[in-house]
Amino acid sequence: AQSVTQLGSHVSVSEGALVLLRCNYSSSVPPYLFWYVQYPNQGLQLLLKYTSAATLVKGINGFEAEFKKSETSFHLTKPSAHMSDAAEYFCAVSAPGTSGNTGKLIFGQGTTLQVKP
Amino acid sequence: DTAVSQTPKYLVTQMGNDKSIKCEQNLGHDTMYWYKQDSKKFLKIMFSYNNKELIINETVPNRFSPKSPDKAHLNLHINSLELGDSAVYFCASGGTDTQYFGPGTRLTVL
């Protein structure tokens, strides 16, 4: 079975500061991992994904994440926050190696990122 | 062109009514999904269809019935709506390595 835990339901940073959103996963098979962003009253947009290639993954809008198997983590970072980054961020896992896998995503609880001027 | 579209965007209805949400994707994917986002923003898979065949049916009340007339469309019909059905419903298409989400349908049951 797979699960995702996002540490911190709310993160607040100043504009220009480092953004760090934490995600830990549990999976009985090598996982695929994703970060999605949701702006108010909108759908989910894929930021980046890890699908067993390079462990450091670069995404859109300057975000990146590093897959660390030993720590079962997939934390999302951005060197310098922008006001437009304020949104809800979701980490998700799927289990491509499982029998009958259908790609269903298991989501974390979400983290609200607030960016202060 | 919108990759994954849903209609309607907002749906307000009375308890006990029956309603449907439609989803269409033009990405050529074989697999489509329905997810529910509750008032605390928690997202959970409900159903998945692969090429018109139901392959995931999570523990969802049987008042919810998905239907896929073809692989580009996945509709969600809900009978006898209850207050607890109020949520945002997202359609998605894709597969194991990427899923693209629609804009969501906000359902409010009064």
Residue type, B62: N
B41, B96, B102 ranked by CB distance to A43: nearest: B102
Contact A85, A76 (CB under 8 A): no
Q: Residues B37-46: what's their mean pLDDT?
A: 94
Q: Residues B14-37: what's their mean pLDDT?
A: 95
The Cα–Cα gap between B99 and B92 comes to 6
Question: What count of CB pairs under 8 Å joins A to B?
Answer: 65
B33 touches chain A (CB under 8 A): yes
A5 touches chain B (CB under 8 A): no
The Cα–Cα gap between B83 and A112 comes to 26
Contact A89, A61 (CB under 8 A): no
Per the prediction, chain B carries an average pLDDT of 92
Contact A116, A15 (CB under 8 A): yes
Chain A: nearest CA to B82, how far in angstroms? 23
Q: What is the pLDDT of residue A98?
A: 56
Listed residue (B67, B110, B106, B66) closest to B87, CA to CA = B106
Of B41, B42, B47, which to mutate for an interface test with A (greatest number of A Cβ within 10 Å)?
A: B41
Q: Residues A11-33: what's their mean pLDDT?
A: 93
Q: pLDDT band for position A116 (50/70/90)?
A: very high
Q: What is the pLDDT of residue A100?
A: 54
Q: Which has more confidence, A101 or B61? A: B61
pLDDT over 70 at A26, yes or no: yes
Q: pLDDT band for position A115 (50/70/90)?
A: very high
Q: What is the pLDDT of residue A101?
A: 59
Contact A24, A5 (CB under 8 A): yes
Q: pLDDT band for position B106 (50/70/90)?
A: very high
Percent of chain A with pLDDT over 70: 94
